[in-house]
Amino acid sequence: MTTATDTTTTAVQSAPALECRMDRATLAHALTTVGVGIARRPVVPLLGGVLLDGRSGDLTVTATDCETAVSVRVPDSVLTPGRLLIDHAEATKLVAALVKGIRKRDADTMPVSVKTTGDGTAVLELGGYTMPVTTYPAEDFPTLPDAPPTVAEVNRERFTADARRVLVATGTDDTLPMITGVQMQVMPGTLTLAGTDRYRLAVAELAATTVTEERSVLFPARVLSAALKHATADRVRLGLGRDKLGDWVSLSCGTLTVVTRPVEAQFPSYEQLFPDTTVTARADRDTLTQATTRATAVLEAKKHTTRDSHGRRIAAQVAVTVDPAGSVSIAPVRSGSMPTR
């Protein structure tokens, strides 16, 4: 066993000593996932930490910025129960650095352990090295709310696909908070997702198992987008609740739990924007995509373009025409002109 030392400052842990062990891929995945809940520039250093809480054989890995808390449960990984608060950025880099030059397939299966030594120092053991890691007092980690009661449960694959479609239409302008979230409306048997950036509107309705008559919440789009990347189980559960500090909304999927503050804003009433009658036409996807790309290129050539709320360049306007026979045509709309094909 090779032991490496450095000048990293560690803090003596007043919480019980912890020892946990798992394969490197599991720890790396847990650290990456909870990173969603860490601020880029933490107000205080310990908010850049990740809490390792071992009890009953399972390890819960948690990070928070006091607005969003993300936790991942790693079953059957705790040898000695306890709590340890380590620096997230440093631990993430060590888990990657200590397997440099090793094939990923082999590196992922290597055992890694994190534990508190007799003098209170936290160490990470991986690849024949024992490295000290920066710690913070675990008792100073913020008290986090429990996940609120589940109000809707849906199929994960369907939820992920529809949520991503809706997220495309959301905005990022914090001065208009109502466009920075995805409205999740729970009705008996259904969960409806809606998002807008003022120029576009996307709505998706999913079959759901619900336990409430009608509830609505505005889930932060940034948090939802990040959480979807780490949701892998079969079902997704949406929770809503309130404590003395205010409202909370949660998203749970397998061992992943995200608890966050909802966006405090009123989502626009969009139902009246849909016409009473609709025309439906079916077209080949590749042909439709090619026609849209060509129409957009014409508008870019004529400099009739703008940028959406994500900074992406988009065509100012593209006309979609459905004739009585059921054919579909796509044409650019230039300022002051009728659409031409």
Evaluate whether residue 337 is within a structural domain. Answer: no
Q: Which helix (H) or strand (E) holds 292?
A: helix 285-301
- Name the token pair of 23: 């394969």
Least confident segment among 94-108, 114-128, 196-210, 297-311 = 297-311
- Name the token pair of 156: 């994960």
With beta carbons less than 8 A apart as the criterion, state whether 190 and 152 touch. no
Please check whether residues 182 and 262 belong to one and the same domain: yes
Please check whether residues 254 and 300 belong to one and the same domain: no
Alpha-carbon distance of 153 to 231, in angstroms, equals 14
With beta carbons less than 8 A apart as the criterion, state whether 30 and 75 touch. no
Please check whether residues 47 and 129 belong to one and the same domain: yes
Please check whether residues 308 and 265 belong to one and the same domain: no
* pLDDT for residue 145: 85
Evaluate whether residue 177 is within a structural domain. Answer: yes
Determine the average pLDDT of the residues in 122-137.
95
* pLDDT for residue 335: 56
Residue 308 CA to chain centroid, in angstroms?
Answer: 21
Residue-wise pLDDT tens digits, 253-311: 999 999 999 999 999 888 877 766 666 778 888 988 898 888 888 887 877 666 655 56
Return phi, psi of residue 167, to 5°.
-60, -30
How many domains does the chain fold into? 3
Please check whether residues 101 and 167 belong to one and the same domain: no
Alpha-carbon distance of 182 to 163, in angstroms, equals 8
Determine the average pLDDT of the residues in 7-18.
53
Q: Helix (H) and strand (E) counts for the chain?
A: 6, 24
Evaluate whether residue 278 is within a structural domain. Answer: no
Residue-wise pLDDT tens digits, 149-196: 999 999 999 999 999 999 999 999 989 999 999 999 999 999 999 999
Please check whether residues 212 and 231 belong to one and the same domain: yes
Evaluate whether residue 40 is within a structural domain. Answer: yes
Q: Which residues lie below 8 Å from residue 149, measured CB to CB, with a gap of 6+?
A: 211, 239, 240, 241
Please check whether residues 6 and 132 belong to one and the same domain: yes
Evaluate whether residue 328 is within a structural domain. Answer: yes
Evaluate whether residue 340 is within a structural domain. Answer: no
With beta carbons less than 8 A apart as the criterion, state whether 155 and 237 touch. no
Instruction: Reply yes or no on whether the pLDDT at 3 is more than 60.
Output: no
With beta carbons less than 8 A apart as the criterion, state whether 201 and 273 touch. yes
Residue 179: which domain range? Answer: 150-273
Please check whether residues 6 and 30 belong to one and the same domain: yes
* pLDDT for residue 261: 95
Please check whether residues 71 and 184 belong to one and the same domain: no
Please check whether residues 32 and 85 belong to one and the same domain: yes
> Would you give the DSSP letter of residue 46?
G
With beta carbons less than 8 A apart as the criterion, state whether 64 and 70 touch. yes
The pTM (predicted TM-score) of the whole model is: 0.80
Alpha-carbon distance of 204 to 133, in angstroms, equals 45
Please check whether residues 185 and 120 belong to one and the same domain: no
Indicate the average pLDDT of the chain.
87
* pLDDT for residue 338: 43
* pLDDT for residue 40: 80
- Name the token pair of 6: 């450095």
